[in-house]
């Protein structure tokens, strides 16, 4: 059952209609959409060329392709009945319980909104299907009464489509009652007693509805229509003599919105042109309401438009709402489809506030007895049998006893005994034993080539009692006890060793799943773990810790969401953490829904789970190369009229590649080849004396042979988003491995006792850098805070959280004027704002993660050719350092991290406007407009420019190298400390960074490093923060605004989870 918050969120599904005749050219059309096979996702490209998308990845393959995740996705093969059952039938159940519900369709004109919502007798739409379920319920329960109303909104005017008046229908007014709900006085409400009544009602009202013929739709709805079923359910007699009864009353609104359109495409004119502009304006106001709700504005502009006012309950009010976004599959309408999907995605974030509507009422009575129609439910097609089905378990192996360092243990052993066969160790739940794996899974694992050993834990099944281990005490089944000496984890290690192996894939259910995850997250045990398959794992992390961030083994989580003993919602936050740590290639989730769980449990889905486990273990990358489509795959399809047509797909799911003609694919990993090609070009140019070969991207003519070679290379996308994991760097040969103990570093705390931090004091002893007490705490009782006399001081060291205030403050120790220190409380928010890593804004209109917007209009798109080449060059330069980087080696780790920063700087062919005599000079050959990638190849600039470019190429490596980056601004004095420092004006910009796990902070000032004073000696690139802020510059601590966009503090769950040690 959904939680209240989940149920109140607007439920969004997308429906893709078949192609129309006008979208067909020479018997075919180009498709711009693909629905996920295993997830309710839809992929869309706005480029008319084929692209492969990975359903397991949240990262689109290029800037022209986007992924949207909704509650359901229905492709061209699905019927309206499929859409109803998968997205709307719950609305009928809600209304029968007394909760208002709304279903509305939104999309470009001609995408099938009216077909989906209204339909007809032969192809019933949502309205008729909902009416059928309501009438069936009424037939079974005489306490249910149903009425209906039908209205249209045309050019802001509300009219009654069921009005008995034969002439012009008068306008109706929209009112809001004292409770905030919407009513329309004078609207005709008719009792419905049969499906014939509903059909007559729709026919009568539909004939009055405004329509027009356009180039996009021969029967385009020019008005918004709302069919409402008013359902009253009587629940019991009141204890009075009025004859009233307790009842619930709810409305089911079925909304058919008029379609949006570009008038130049629809070809309308005159009155129809006016209609189109009014419709577009109305839908624009609807998007304003959605934006205002998401921004939590004080005033929601419902009353700016009649449609918005009528739908007020459905968007943010007392209602459960479902949106059906309808789109065309044709590339011809890709931009309009993309707009529809963006609107739908925004709606999916809206939360309503529904409740059961209770009242006292008198029965109107009904002179009819509706009998439910006897229809056969549509059955799901049976899947083909799995290849291991029918295999006799006895033919695969059986029970045996093995001798281990923990004593003799009983196990079930199956499959090949060859030491070359991978080992799968199955760990049972509690209470249970190894036999739980014999009716399922064992057959599948043996078929996949595994040696399968299912263990009876000590004291369970046929293994000896607990006297032989754990001092005679039974094993504790909580996951935090799995690692106790001579406990479950030690038992697993002993079994693996007794079998002559060093590693095993651990497959665990319930308790067994918790044991597997505990071992995979433990530095002393994880070397035994090849991979983890955890089904309903009974696992919880230690409060305040992040053990799961240390899991390095590929992990598959399996779940039946309706299982009453294993709550999926509790796993959610831990799954998010594992996904962040492992990445989408190494972390997978597979879930099933079983509404009749009390009858079947999850056993009905055992084959689906087996298939997913085999796929995960034997085909983690079903397409190990990263192919490129040479041509659009073709498939037989049909138009809305049933005419055969060829569909040519621009979007192809990776899962479908195994069924595709190999001639459509490139067989080599072109990105890996591109990396090798770039390596050869760089080496060749350096032999010629060109120390910065990529400068040719700026200085050389486009016809230059080397520049042409570089431009033709297919290089990987290395961006802040794609570099969350080192996998792709290793796959394409840029790195050979991830840094040692990298996952332990990710779990380390950012704020440890003794870390030097920045703190704003309400007053300081001196503001002059030359003074001994510069930025020290003044005598008396200094406090943290703002004000005209406040300054940011670097003379503070973290002590820890202050007790007694709910974790809202930290205590720091600040150097006091005249000597000694003083302890001061600092609000947690202020400490995090001054010392947490920064998030830089993306380019306008671009998703975060693949672009950055920086100072003075400088931008970087990591998908550009110049950015790909420069990032690959940096990755190559960092490779030898990463070979020696071990995050457990203290100061050696720090020195290698600092050398990484210096190495990134060396890869930037970037100078400043400074000459030996201190003057400034511009080199016009280094003009790079606003492209940070070109600046990095051969650029020149002032402090804003060089800091922006440095940050562009340091920030993407922050997670892999343990470098938290902050973009700073402030005052400079460069040794001349006679004048007081000020918060304004801002004189300078630079980079500050903190290394993990040491939590030592440094300053990177490329402008100062390039000055005649420093002559690129590298000191200003990695100067300790305390030294830099005492001798060179003063940070004002403000979050900068870069080209109109705000720098923000990174408050992601991973950052906050690793706050204080």
List, as residue ranges, the binding site.
Answer: 107-114
Residue 80 has which token pair?
Answer: 């309206």
Find where tokens 């600039």 sit: 941
Q: CB–CB of 102/350 below 8 Å?
A: no
Report the distance separating Cα 9 and Cα 756, nearest Å: 44
Residue 383 has which token pair?
Answer: 């899947």
Residue 1012 Cα distances to 359, 691, 784, 901, 916, angstroms: 83, 22, 38, 21, 5
The DSSP bridge partners found for residue 852 are 860
The DSSP bridge partners found for residue 453 are 413, 425
For residue 231, the SS3 value is strand
Q: CB–CB of 458/495 below 8 Å?
A: no
Q: What is the end-to-end Cα distance of the chain in Å, rounded?
A: 38
| CA nearest neighbour of 957 among 917, 925, 924, 991 | 991
| CA nearest neighbour of 942 among 965, 981, 972, 983 | 972
Q: CB–CB of 851/843 below 8 Å?
A: yes
Following CA atoms 650, 655, 660, 663 in sequence, which dihedral angle do they give, to the nearest 10 degrees?
A: 80
The DSSP bridge partners found for residue 634 are 648
Residue 249 Cα distances to 132, 229, 359, angstroms: 19, 11, 7
Q: CB–CB of 228/221 below 8 Å?
A: no
Report the distance separating Cα 1030 and Cα 711, nearest Å: 46
Using a 10 angstrom Cβ sphere, with 0-12 exposed, 13-18 middle and 19 or more buried, the burial of residue 376 is: exposed
Following CA atoms 708, 710, 716, 720 in sequence, which dihedral angle do they give, to the nearest 10 degrees?
A: -110
Residue 731 has which token pair?
Answer: 């796959």
Report the distance separating Cα 492 and Cα 500, nearest Å: 13
Residue 184 Cα distances to 107, 152, 204, 306, angstroms: 26, 12, 20, 12
Report the distance separating Cα 1026 and Cα 567, nearest Å: 49
Report the distance separating Cα 538 and Cα 563, nearest Å: 13
| CA nearest neighbour of 491 among 521, 462, 542, 528 | 528
Q: Is the peptide bond before 997 cis (omega within 30 degrees of 0)?
A: yes
Q: CB–CB of 49/379 below 8 Å?
A: no
Helix (H) or strand (E) holding 1043: none
The DSSP bridge partners found for residue 252 are 101, 229
Report the distance separating Cα 270 and Cα 368, nearest Å: 49
Other CB atoms within 10 A of residue 719 CB: 22
Residue 1058 Cα distances to 526, 563, 750, 825, 829, angstroms: 21, 32, 6, 21, 15
The DSSP bridge partners found for residue 438 are none
Binding residues for ATP: 107-114
Strands in 345-444 per DSSP E: 358-361, 397-404, 407-414, 423-427
Following CA atoms 714, 719, 725, 726 in sequence, which dihedral angle do they give, to the nearest 10 degrees?
A: 50
| CA nearest neighbour of 421 among 621, 617, 620, 624 | 617
Using a 10 angstrom Cβ sphere, with 0-12 exposed, 13-18 middle and 19 or more buried, the burial of residue 520 is: buried
């Amino acid at each position: 059952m959904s939680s209240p918050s989940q149920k109140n969120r607007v439920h969004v599904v997308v429906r893709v209609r078949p192609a129309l005749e006008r979208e067909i050219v020479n018997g075919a059309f180009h498709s711009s959409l693909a629905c996920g096979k295993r997830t309710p996702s839809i992929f869309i490209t706005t480029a008319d060329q084929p692209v492969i998308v990975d359903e397991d990845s949240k990262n689109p393959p290029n800037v022209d392709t986007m992924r949207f995740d909704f509650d359901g996705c229905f492709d061209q093969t699905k019927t309206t009945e499929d859409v109803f059952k998968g997205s709307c039938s719950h609305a009928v159940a809600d209304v029968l319980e007394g909760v208002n519900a709304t279903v509305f369709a939104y999309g470009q004109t001609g995408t099938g909104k009216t077909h989906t919502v209204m339909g007809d007798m032969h192809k019933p739409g949502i309205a008729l299907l909902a009416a059928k379920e309501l009438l069936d319920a009424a037939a079974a329960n005489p306490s249910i009464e149903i009425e209906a109303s039908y209205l249209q909104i045309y050019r802001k005017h509300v009219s009654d489509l069921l009005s008995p008046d034969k002439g012009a229908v008068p306008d109706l007014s929209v009112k809001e009652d004292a409770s905030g709900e919407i009513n329309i006085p004078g609207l005709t409400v008719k009792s419905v007693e049969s499906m014939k009544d509903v059909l007559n009602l729709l026919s009568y009202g539909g004939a009055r509805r405004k329509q027009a013929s356009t180039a996009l739709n021969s029967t385009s709805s020019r008005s918004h229509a709302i069919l409402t079923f008013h359902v009253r359910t009587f629940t019991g007699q009141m204890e009075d003599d009025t004859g009233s009864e307790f009842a619930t009353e709810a409305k089911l609104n079925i909304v058919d919105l008029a379609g949006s359109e570009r008038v130049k495409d629809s070809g309308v004119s005159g009155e129809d042109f006016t209609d189109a502009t009014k419709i577009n304006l109305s839908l624009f106001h609807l998007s304003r309401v959605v934006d205002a709700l998401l921004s939590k504005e004080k005033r929601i502009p419902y009353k700016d438009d009649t449609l918005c006012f009528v739908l007020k309950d459905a968007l943010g009010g007392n209602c459960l709402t479902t949106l059906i976004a309808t789109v065309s599959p044709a590339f011809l309408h890709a931009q309009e489809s993309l707009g529809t999907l963006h609107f739908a995605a925004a709606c999916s974030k809206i939360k309503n506030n529904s409740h059961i509507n209770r009242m006292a009422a008198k029965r109107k009575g009904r002179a009819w007895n509706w009998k439910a129609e006897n229809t056969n439910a549509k059955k799901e097609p049976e899947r083909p049998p799995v290849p291991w089905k029918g295999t006799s378990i006895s033919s695969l192996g059986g029970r045996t006893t093995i001798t281990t360092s923990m004593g003799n243990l009983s196990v079930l052993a199956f499959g090949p005994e060859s030491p070359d066969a991978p080992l799968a160790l199955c760990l049972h739940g509690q209470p249970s034993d190894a036999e739980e794996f014999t009716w399922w899974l064992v057959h599948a694992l043996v078929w996949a080539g595994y040696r399968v050993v299912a263990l009876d834990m000590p004291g369970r099944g046929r293994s000896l009692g607990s006297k032989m281990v754990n001092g005679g005490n039974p094993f504790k089944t909580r996951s935090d006890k799995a690692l106790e000496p001579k406990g479950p984890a030690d038992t697993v290690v002993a079994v693996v060793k007794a079998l002559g192996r060093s590693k095993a894939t651990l497959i665990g259910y319930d308790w067994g799943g918790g044991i597997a995850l505990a071992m995979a997250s433990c530095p002393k045990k994880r070397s035994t773990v090849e991979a983890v398959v955890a089904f309903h794992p009974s696992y919880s992390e230690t409060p305040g810790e992040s053990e799961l961030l240390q899991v390095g083994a590929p992990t598959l989580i399996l779940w039946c969401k309706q299982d009453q003993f294993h709550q999926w919602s509790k796993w959610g936050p831990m799954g998010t953490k594992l996904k962040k740590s492992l990445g989408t290639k190494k972390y997978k989730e597979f879930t099933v829904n079983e509404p009749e769980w009390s009858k079947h449990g999850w056993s009905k889905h055992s084959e689906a789970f087996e298939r997913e486990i085999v796929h995960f273990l034997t085909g983690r990358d079903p397409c190990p190369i990263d192919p490129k489509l040479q041509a659009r795959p073709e498939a037989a399809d049909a138009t809305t009229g049933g005419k055969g047509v060829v569909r040519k797909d621009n979007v192809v799911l990776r899962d479908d590649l195994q069924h595709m003609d190999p001639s459509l694919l490139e067989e080599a990993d072109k990105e890996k080849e591109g990396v090798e090609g770039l390596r050869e070009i760089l080496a060749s140019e350096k032999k010629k004396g060109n120390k910065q070969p990529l400068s040719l991207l700026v200085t050389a003519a486009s016809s230059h042979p080397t520049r042409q070679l570089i431009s033709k290379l297919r290089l990987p996308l290395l961006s802040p988003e794609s570099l969350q994991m080192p996998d792709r760097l290793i796959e394409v040969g840029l790195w050979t491995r991830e840094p040692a103990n990298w996952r332990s570093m990710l779990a380390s705390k950012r704020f440890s006792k003794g870390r030097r931090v920045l703190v704003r004091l309400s007053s300081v002893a001196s503001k002059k850098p030359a003074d001994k007490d510069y930025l020290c705490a003044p005598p008396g009782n200094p406090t943290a805070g703002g004000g005209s006399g406040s300054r940011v001081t670097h003379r503070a060291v973290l002590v820890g959280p202050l007790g007694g205030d709910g974790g809202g403050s930290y205590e720091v120790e600040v150097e006091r004027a005249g000597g000694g220190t003083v302890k001061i409380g600092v609000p947690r928010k202020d400490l995090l704002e001054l010392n947490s890593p920064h998030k830089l804004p993306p380019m306008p209109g671009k998703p975060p993660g693949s672009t950055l917007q920086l100072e003075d209009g400088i931008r970087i798109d990591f998908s550009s050719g110049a950015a790909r080449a420069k990032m690959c060059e940096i990755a190559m330069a960092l490779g030898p350092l990463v070979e020696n980087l071990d995050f457990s080696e203290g100061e050696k780790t720090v020195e290698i991290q600092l050398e990484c920063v210096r190495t990134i700087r060396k890869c930037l062919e970037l100078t400043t406007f400074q000459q030996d005599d201190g003057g400034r000079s511009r080199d016009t050959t280094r003009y790079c407009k606003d492209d940070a990638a070109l600046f990095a190849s051969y650029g020149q600039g002032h402090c804003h420019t060089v800091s922006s470019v440095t940050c562009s190429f340091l920030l993407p490596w922050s997670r892999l190298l343990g470098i938290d980056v902050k973009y700073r601004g402030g005052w400079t004095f460069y040794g001349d400390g006679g004048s007081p420092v000020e918060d304004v004006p801002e004189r300078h910009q630079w980079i500050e960074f903190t290394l993990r796990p040491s939590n030592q902070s440094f300053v990177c000032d490329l402008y100062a490093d390039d000055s005649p004073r420093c002559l690129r000696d590298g000191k200003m690139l990695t100067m300790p923060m305390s030294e830099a802020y005492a001798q060179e510059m003063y940070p004002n601590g403000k979050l900068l605004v870069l080209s109109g966009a705000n720098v923000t503090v990174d408050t992601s769950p991973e950052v906050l989870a690793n706050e204080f040690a």
